[in-house]
Structure formats: structure tokens, C-alpha cells
Amino acid sequence: MASFTGIADEAGNPLATQIRATQALGWDSLELRNVQLPGFPTANVHDLPPAAFELLCRDLAAANLSVAAFGSSIGNWASPITDPFDTTLERLQRAIPRMQQLGTRFLRIMSFAVLKDASGADLPDQCDAERFRRLREIKARCDDAGLVAVHENCMNYGGMSISHALRTLDAVPGLRWVFDTANPLFNEDRDRPGHQQDPWDFYQAVKPAISHFHIKDGIYDPLLRDCHYTLPGLGHGAVPRILADALASGYQGFLSIEPHTAVVFHSAPTETDADPAARAEQQFQSYLDYGRALQNLVASLPLS
């Protein structure tokens, strides 16, 4: 049986808000990404000052909540492959002992940002060999620590197309995948230039490597070059079909919500940001609505 969890900073950055949202949904775990503790600025969980991280551990223990995964910034869409690898290793070296302290298994990683020219076009040379070398090193260090590195299909090399994903999996033996249901919608399919990716086809291609799911849904807007994000099952992410297939195939891992219905972390601020209190309440309620909608969707699925 799959378990529900969520990237809880989508309910709000303060840890207290993330705990409150998780408890309101009746869930016993959350996925940590960005976190804010009293007296400290918001940071990714692996970048929190040690004193802030100790507060986090204390508060999660008091709430009797576990951590399903770290949504790290390791190799993400803001991390060029041309940057020194030491930057990545420093993040990894901070993340590993924190995950061990919290009893967390899954570390979300990516395969570094897509290299582009001044006009925004993909460069012919994406430094494949260096990406794969770094990913093998990241995976090896996670393996040695008893952790599981899961690669997300997003705005990174492995998310450029099915063929890029399969090359990544072939070049990094044993690498596991966190499949995001809506990310294919806003990523151009480099196997079919001028078209967006197909979520069902992408899911089928990486299915044998999937150990974790991020659930979001949306309808692609070519003018926005992004999605109008929706409740799960109401967009073009093939969420019901993918979940029905995964669960019928015996998937028993986490279904982690990443709604984006009230916030998109790689987008520019909008006019709604002018009223922080209203936006915070919108985020919180949107997160609860999303979690409940996913639970209802899963309960309605034909699993045979």
C-alpha cells in the first residue's frame, strides 16, 4: 500500500506550518525541502545552520513525524554542470548525516541544468560524460551511507527527453528515479523538437527505476511556457492512469504531493505576493485541498 506525504514547504516555509499541514491531513511524514525555523532564514534542509537543524529535529520528534525524503538542491535546475563539483559534494556531505539522524532514506537529486546559448537554445555539447561521472559519485556516496539517490525528471539533463533519461539510467547503474507526473508537460521533448513530453510515455520508460513519486498536475500554456496547475486528475499529467498502473503493479512507496497550485518555486513573484498573510493562507489551504483530492482520487482508482 502506498503512503501519502508531501513537499511540505508548499504549505508554507515555516516548519510549524509544515507540521500543522501534515497533521491536518492525518499523515505521519513529510518531505523536507525549504524550511524556516524561528530566528533563522529559510534554507534548504541541508543548508540550515546546525542550531536550526537541531530545532527541526526536536520539533519533528515532538510532533511524532518522520521525514520521507530530502528535496535537495543537488544537481538541480539552478546548478550548472560547469560549476565546480566541490559545491555539490559540500551539499551532499551536509545532507547525508542529517538524513541518517532523521532516519530518511530518499535523497532527491537531479542531473544539473541544461546548458544553453545566449538565445536560450540547447547547446549541442551537454557535457554528458561529466554529468554521468558526478552522478555515479553522488550515488556511490549515498550507497555507502545506506541512502537512496532518486533522480527527478525536471529541468535538467535527465528530464530533457525519454532518451536522455534512459541514457542517464544506463550510465549510472542502479540509479533510482522519482517520477514527477506534471514535469513532462512543461519540458520540451528533445526527441520531438517543438512538442512537450508525454507523461504516460515518460512514466512507462522509467517505470522499472521508480522508487518515489511527486504528484502534481496541470495544463500547459505555450504563452506562459509553463502549466496552469490543477488538482490531481484535472490536468494533462495522466495522474489517474499512472497511479492506477503503478499501484496495480505493486508500488508501495510514497506519493508525495507537490501542488504548485499556490506557488511555483522556479517562477518569478506575482502580484499576489503583495499580501503575504493572504498568500500564506492560500498556500496552506491549497496544500490541504490538494492532499485530500489525491486521497480521494486514489480511493476511486480501479486497481485491477
Give Cα 108 distance to the centre of its chain.
6
Average of per-residue pLDDT across 114-133 = 97
**Does residue 53 contact residue 98 with C-beta atoms inside 8 Å?**
yes
User: Domains in the chain, start-ordered, CATH in brackets?
Assistant: 3-300 (3.20.20.150)
- At 271 the pLDDT is 53
Residue 211 CA to residue 223 CA, distance in Å, equals 34
Could you tell me what percentage of the chain is helix, strand and coil, using 3-state DSSP and rounding each to the nearest 5? 45, 20, 35
Give CA–CA dist 69/36, Å, rounded. Answer: 17
CA distances from 199 to 82, 161, 169, 294 (A): 29, 11, 18, 18
Q: Which amino acid is at 293?
A: A
Q: What are the cell numbers at 91?
A: 551539499
CA neighbor of 22 nearest in space, from 280, 223, 179, 257: 257
Q: What is the per-residue pLDDT across 41-94, written as a single tens digit (0 to 9) for each?
A: 999 999 999 999 999 999 999 999 999 999 999 999 999 999 999 999 999 999
Mean pLDDT of the chain: 95
Averaged pLDDT for residues 5-26: 98
Counting every residue, how long is the chain?
Answer: 304
* Chain segment 175-201, per-residue pLDDT in tens: 999 999 999 999 999 999 999 999 999
For residue 262, name the pLDDT band (cuts at 50, 70, 90). Answer: confident
For 198-243, the pLDDT digits (tens) are 999 999 999 999 999 999 999 999 988 889 999 999 999 999 999 9
- For position 303, what pLDDT does the model report? 74
Task: Pick 271 or 35 by higher pLDDT.
Answer: 35
The mean pLDDT value for 94-114 works out to 98
